Amino acid sequence: MFTVAKNKTKRPVNPRISARPNEQSSQNADAFAEATARLAEIGKGFYARGWALGTSGNFSAVISREPLRLAITSTGLDKGSLTPAQFLEIDNAANVVQGEGRPSAEALLHLAIARGLHAGAILHTHSVWSTVLSGSHALQGGIALEGFEMLKGLEGVRTHKHREWLPILENSQDMIELGERVSKILRESPGIHGFLLKEHGLYTWGAGLQEAKRHVEILEFLMEVPVRSGAAQSA
Amino acid sequence: MFTVAKNKTKRPVNPRISARPNEQSSQNADAFAEATARLAEIGKGFYARGWALGTSGNFSAVISREPLRLAITSTGLDKGSLTPAQFLEIDNAANVVQGEGRPSAEALLHLAIARGLHAGAILHTHSVWSTVLSGSHALQGGIALEGFEMLKGLEGVRTHKHREWLPILENSQDMIELGERVSKILRESPGIHGFLLKEHGLYTWGAGLQEAKRHVEILEFLMEVPVRSGAAQSA
Amino acid sequence: MFTVAKNKTKRPVNPRISARPNEQSSQNADAFAEATARLAEIGKGFYARGWALGTSGNFSAVISREPLRLAITSTGLDKGSLTPAQFLEIDNAANVVQGEGRPSAEALLHLAIARGLHAGAILHTHSVWSTVLSGSHALQGGIALEGFEMLKGLEGVRTHKHREWLPILENSQDMIELGERVSKILRESPGIHGFLLKEHGLYTWGAGLQEAKRHVEILEFLMEVPVRSGAAQSA
Amino acid sequence: MFTVAKNKTKRPVNPRISARPNEQSSQNADAFAEATARLAEIGKGFYARGWALGTSGNFSAVISREPLRLAITSTGLDKGSLTPAQFLEIDNAANVVQGEGRPSAEALLHLAIARGLHAGAILHTHSVWSTVLSGSHALQGGIALEGFEMLKGLEGVRTHKHREWLPILENSQDMIELGERVSKILRESPGIHGFLLKEHGLYTWGAGLQEAKRHVEILEFLMEVPVRSGAAQSA
């Protein structure tokens, strides 16, 4: 079982299978406006913390489940001045349904996570902590986070004794190939709350945006701790 | 003697033993409104500094002493957008007297500190510094802070030669059991201004909110210093 | 080929070779007002991040190409309160054409970069990261940055496998001599996106201001990573 | 010769030896209002950077030279919410001439610097960097800062080849005794721009407030560099 799947009742956007086209379109418009306003605010906060410098990072939220529609950042944006108008609505194949601009090639990873985990929001950051730690621990294939109270900020975790495995995948520019590896790791590592791309950054998600934002903060914190402790020092 | 107990005259909220019910209720309402406005402001400041990420941390103030009433953060809040409306009023047994939501299980620790030390405010943060240091020094049962001018920011300390013992308690999810260990350490370590839960965070307090906020800043600073000095490096 | 030269079509300020004097003057005034408003905003952001403390750093943008005119910070300014009125317009020889104050002696380096790389904006920061790294790697004459996804934020870079050479030049107070060394390194290192002056800071540039700002954020990030990893530790 | 003394023409507040009493009083009131507004703004900025947490730090400016009058922070203030009304005017013996509250015991050090160096403003911060560095280098009696471009932000320094000696004095709670040691070090170390009190913090100054603020930023930066380089690691 995946963690997010356990929390279906919390999903802010319900799949509206039987909605009539017009109704759905209007519902999507509301969901899109609400999601992009919040995504822009969250993105600016991450930029301020240095987690999305230099146009890095991309952020998405599920607007409808059937058919699958995501609100996602257009590529190449300065996250320090992110606005709702800079988001796109994309379909299941990363085609732009609404909005100006081009989605990041990494939109395919967002879609893989939205489908594979029934996630309602997917956030991707590039922090110094994730860059350092994913480099120092790449050979181990991941890093185990255990014993920290902050683990309880990850959905479904009830004790600091939890052992969270944060997989590290080799980075790639081939998003088809990387998307397949991501889907595979999601299937083979039930219960994970995020993964790292080596010397690239963090992907995490949640049933909704608030949960996904919380997971970014928790995982960035839990990566900062070993780096500050000297566990990532090049020797 | 406990430090806080020495400063009774500074307590912003006086025990109003003989107040008539209606009068007291109105006094409590004023105290609750004032305390929660300030607590929300302080909490947002801690979030900005990275001391309360991902819904971590909880903050309380004594609203009345007899009967004991605390204003305390509801559980699971994003401290970056904390508002006075997100606080609860709880009684001596952590029952909610006023407000929407559920108190954190750690409310029992706040109550133990409010009772044991006659503290007027209790603040609990999760910083990277306290997480690293409480892990590296857990075997010693605490860390001694000595020689720093900043120690004088702790109530009652008059010289940098003061030796502050910051106990580190093993973390637990059993708040009854942990509450007892906290009460014991408070009794056995008169004069301490805070304690750490291992790989969890800092508890500190003050006669009033301003003093408690100052203690957070002082102790976070004094924990950052040894980590920056390499005293917590994993070898 | 220089990176910036490849992006001629993106230059926000076109050389207006055949413009009549009055027309040009009015066009320059608009370009100057627009550039200085944005430069002031960018400068305050860098100050907030600690990349331009204590009047350090200087920032410029090309206002016209023929004749060459730069908007550039006056010397000795507190970048935390930078305003458009604190910028000067200078010509090809660093003479002040417009504005109150004196350009930094380093204006000669800005002009060398504007000419040598056809850059539209030049940004110079003094961060702790660049100071530490340029000191620890001075003997190697530079530092190679390779394998990081963030490299793709540098104009023209398409893969994390890119190897970016960041040259480190010995610092000097003789701007004529240093300007010649800078021009030489720009000729001999085609494709670089910036360089360091030893224990001084970073110079980077872009076709326009937004690109130059992005390059600062990317290069500062990529310098912070090795310092945090311990690669710059004095042993 | 002292550095500050060389810049007499820059002093924002002139000694008004021959001013008539009423005139002087009105001039002082203006100088006091102007200085305290700026001091409050500077203090809040230092607090935001973590250089004046937990009521630490104190800030002053010379309001008149003959008789000597300083505007100085009252003791025990939260620097994050500093207001002009929280400043005192003190005389040559640290008696309060105007304002509510009590000056810090360290007012005597401010007076010693104002007299000994003809400084127009004195700023004292408690950063993690100065705490760590003054501890690690106390046995050497100071730290030499050399080779850094940022040194040029110190008044009168024209080249990065400058060697700045930053003395470290043993901390003390006896301000009479410490004031004498401070006066002695100022006499014996002409040209210094600041000094450290061991595991306490930085004192620096300037002909005016802007210069003193710049010196804080420069010296804090130059202390952060060796700590980040590992030069202060406990081994």
pLDDT tens for chain D, 235 residues long, are 233 333 333 334 444 444 455 667 778 889 999 999 999 999 999 999 999 999 999 999 999 999 999 999 999 999 999 999 999 999 999 999 999 999 999 999 999 999 999 999 999 999 999 999 999 999 999 999 999 999 999 999 999 999 999 999 999 999 999 999 999 999 999 999 999 999 999 999 999 999 999 999 999 999 999 999 988 876 4
Q: Report the alpha-carbon distance of residue B72 to residue B57 in Å, rounded.
A: 11
Q: Residue A234's pLDDT is what?
A: 60
Per-residue buried b or exposed e for A150-167, using 16+ beta carbons within 10 Å of the residue's own CB: bbbbbbebeebebebebb
Phi-psi region of B198 (alpha: psi -120 to 50; beta: other; left: phi over 0): beta
CB C146 within 8 A of CB C161: yes
Q: How confident is the model at residue C16 (pLDDT cuts 50, 70, 90)?
A: very low
**C-beta atoms surrounding B16 within 10 Å:** 15
Mean pLDDT computed over C84-97: 97
Q: Report the alpha-carbon distance of residue B122 to residue B195 in Å, rounded.
A: 12
Out of B148, B210, B228, closest to residue D199 by CB:
B148
- Between the alpha carbon of residue B228 and those of residues B100, B211, D3, D18, D179, the distances in Å are 41, 26, 32, 53, 30
**Neighboring chain A residues of C228 at a CB cutoff of 8 Å:** 128-129, 132, 227, 232
Q: Report the alpha-carbon distance of residue A29 to residue B235 in Å, rounded.
A: 55
Mean pLDDT computed over B89-96: 97
- Provide the residue count of chain D: 235
Q: How confident is the model at residue B82 (pLDDT cuts 50, 70, 90)?
A: very high
Tokens of D217: 């930023």
Q: Residue B233's pLDDT is what?
A: 75
**Neighboring chain B residues of D234 at a CB cutoff of 8 Å:** 229-231
**Neighboring chain D residues of B221 at a CB cutoff of 8 Å:** 50, 53-54, 126, 128, 131
Q: How confident is the model at residue A232 (pLDDT cuts 50, 70, 90)?
A: confident
CB B201 within 8 A of CB B131: yes
Q: Above pLDDT 90, what percent of chain A?
A: 84
**Neighboring chain C residues of D214 at a CB cutoff of 8 Å:** 54-55, 78
Is A218 in contact with B135 (Cβ distance < 8 A)? no
- Which helix (H) or strand (E) element contains residue B123? strand B121-125
Chain D: closest CA distance from residue B207 (Å): 15
In this predicted structure, the answer to whether residue A56 has a pLDDT above a threshold of 60 is yes
Q: Residue A11's pLDDT is what?
A: 38
In this predicted structure, the answer to whether residue A65 has a pLDDT above a threshold of 60 is yes
In this predicted structure, the answer to whether residue C43 has a pLDDT above a threshold of 50 is yes
**Neighboring chain A residues of B135 at a CB cutoff of 8 Å:** 147, 229
Q: Where are the beta strands (DSSP E) in A5-137?
A: 58-64, 69-73, 87-90, 96-98, 121-125
Q: Residue C13's pLDDT is what?
A: 41
CB D23 within 8 A of CB D62: no
Chains with ≥3 CB–CB distances under 8 Å to A: B, C
Chain B: closest CA distance from residue A221 (Å): 7
In this predicted structure, the answer to whether residue A27 has a pLDDT above a threshold of 70 is yes
Q: Report the alpha-carbon distance of residue D120 to residue D63 in Å, rounded.
A: 8
Q: Report the alpha-carbon distance of residue A206 to residue A200 in Å, rounded.
A: 20
Is C128 in contact with D224 (Cβ distance < 8 A)? yes
In this predicted structure, the answer to whether residue B123 has a pLDDT above a threshold of 60 is yes
Q: Report the alpha-carbon distance of residue C113 to residue C134 in Å, rounded.
A: 20
Residue pointed to by tokens 């906060």? A45
Q: How confident is the model at residue C234 (pLDDT cuts 50, 70, 90)?
A: low
Tokens of B49: 């500094």
- Between the alpha carbon of residue D100 and those of residues A198, B9, D88, the distances in Å are 58, 20, 7
Chain B: closest CA distance from residue A157 (Å): 12
Q: Residue D149's pLDDT is what?
A: 98
Mean pLDDT computed over B212-228: 98
Q: How confident is the model at residue B114 (pLDDT cuts 50, 70, 90)?
A: very high
Mean pLDDT computed over C86-107: 95
CA angle D57, D123, B211 (to 5 degrees): 15
Is B218 in contact with D78 (Cβ distance < 8 A)? no
Q: Report the alpha-carbon distance of residue C93 to residue A185 in Å, rounded.
A: 59
In this predicted structure, the answer to whether residue C54 has a pLDDT above a threshold of 50 is yes
Chain B: closest CA distance from residue D188 (Å): 25
DSSP B103: B
Closest chain A residue to the Cα of C146, Cα to Cα: A199
Q: How confident is the model at residue C21 (pLDDT cuts 50, 70, 90)?
A: low
Q: How confident is the model at residue A197 (pLDDT cuts 50, 70, 90)?
A: very high
CB D218 within 8 A of CB D206: no
In this predicted structure, the answer to whether residue C232 has a pLDDT above a threshold of 50 is yes
Is D149 in contact with C227 (Cβ distance < 8 A)? no
Chains with ≥3 CB–CB distances under 8 Å to C: A, D
Chain C: closest CA distance from residue D20 (Å): 36
Is C80 in contact with D147 (Cβ distance < 8 A)? no
Q: Residue C25's pLDDT is what?
A: 77
In this predicted structure, the answer to whether residue A41 has a pLDDT above a threshold of 60 is yes
Q: Residue D3's pLDDT is what?
A: 33
Strands A142-146 and C96-98: unpaired
Q: Above pLDDT 90, what percent of chain B?
A: 84
In this predicted structure, the answer to whether residue B41 has a pLDDT above a threshold of 90 is yes
Write the DSSP string, D35-98.
HHHHHHHHHHHHHHTTSS-TT--EEEEEEETTTTEEEEEBTT--GGG--GGGEEEE-TTS-EEE
Rg (CA), chain C: 17
Is A230 in contact with B233 (Cβ distance < 8 A)? yes
Q: Residue B21's pLDDT is what?
A: 59
In this predicted structure, the answer to whether residue B229 has a pLDDT above a threshold of 60 is yes
Q: How confident is the model at residue A21 (pLDDT cuts 50, 70, 90)?
A: low
Residue pointed to by tokens 């900020």? A153
Average pLDDT over chain A, rounded to an integer: 90
In this predicted structure, the answer to whether residue A17 has a pLDDT above a threshold of 80 is no
Enumerate the β-bridge partners of residue D212: none
Chain C: closest CA distance from residue D225 (Å): 6
Is A54 in contact with C150 (Cβ distance < 8 A)? yes
**Neighboring chain D residues of C81 at a CB cutoff of 8 Å:** none
**C-beta atoms surrounding B102 within 10 Å:** 13
CB C182 within 8 A of CB C112: yes
CB C206 within 8 A of CB C155: yes
Weakest mean pLDDT among A77-81, B12-16, B68-72, B225-229: B12-16
User: What is the tens place of the pLDDT at every residue in A148-161?
Assistant: 999 999 999 999 99
Q: Which residue type occupies D60?
A: S
Average pLDDT over chain B, rounded to an integer: 90
**Neighboring chain C residues of A234 at a CB cutoff of 8 Å:** 229-231
Q: How confident is the model at residue B100 (pLDDT cuts 50, 70, 90)?
A: very high
Nearest CA-CA partner of A94 in A85, A105, A83: A105
Q: Pseudo-torsion of CA A4, A8, A13, A16, nearest 10°? A: 130
